[in-house]
Amino acid sequence: MERVAFKMKLKPGFKQEYIKRHNEVWPEIVTLIKNSGISDYSIFLDEETNILFGVQKVSGNTSSQGLGSVEIQQKWWDYMSDIMDSNPDNSPVTTYLEEVFYLA
C-alpha cells in the first residue's frame, strides 16, 4: 500500500463551507473512493495560506485525484469548484508532494 500526499488551495473565506460540504460528503463519492482502493484519507487546512493538505493510502493504481473519468467525481468537482482553485475541467488544482521522511 502506498501513501500519497498532495496539496490544493481553498479560496479565502470558505473554510466553514468546505468543512460543511465534506461533513455532508455524498455517499456515492465515499463508495467510489473506497472501491478504488483508497483508504485512510485525511485533509488538513493551513489557515495562514489556505492550503489544503491531503494524504491517503492507495492500494489500487490511482489516488482520488485520478478518478476524473467517473461521472460522480466530475459532479463533485463541479460542486466544489466555486470554493477551490480549479482547473478548466473543475478538478482541483493539485500538486503532488514528495515524501522526504516517514516514521512508522
Q: What is the pLDDT of residues 9-65, one digit of tens each?
A: 999 999 999 999 999 999 999 999 999 999 999 999 999 999 999 999 999 777 666
Residue 61 CA to residue 80 CA, distance in Å, equals 24
Model pTM score: 0.90
Catalytic residue among 22, 44, 60, 96: 22
Reply yes or no on domain 2-97 having CATH 3.30.70.100. yes
Q: Identify whether 97 is a catalytic site residue.
A: no
Torsion sign across C-alpha atoms 60, 92, 3, 72:
negative
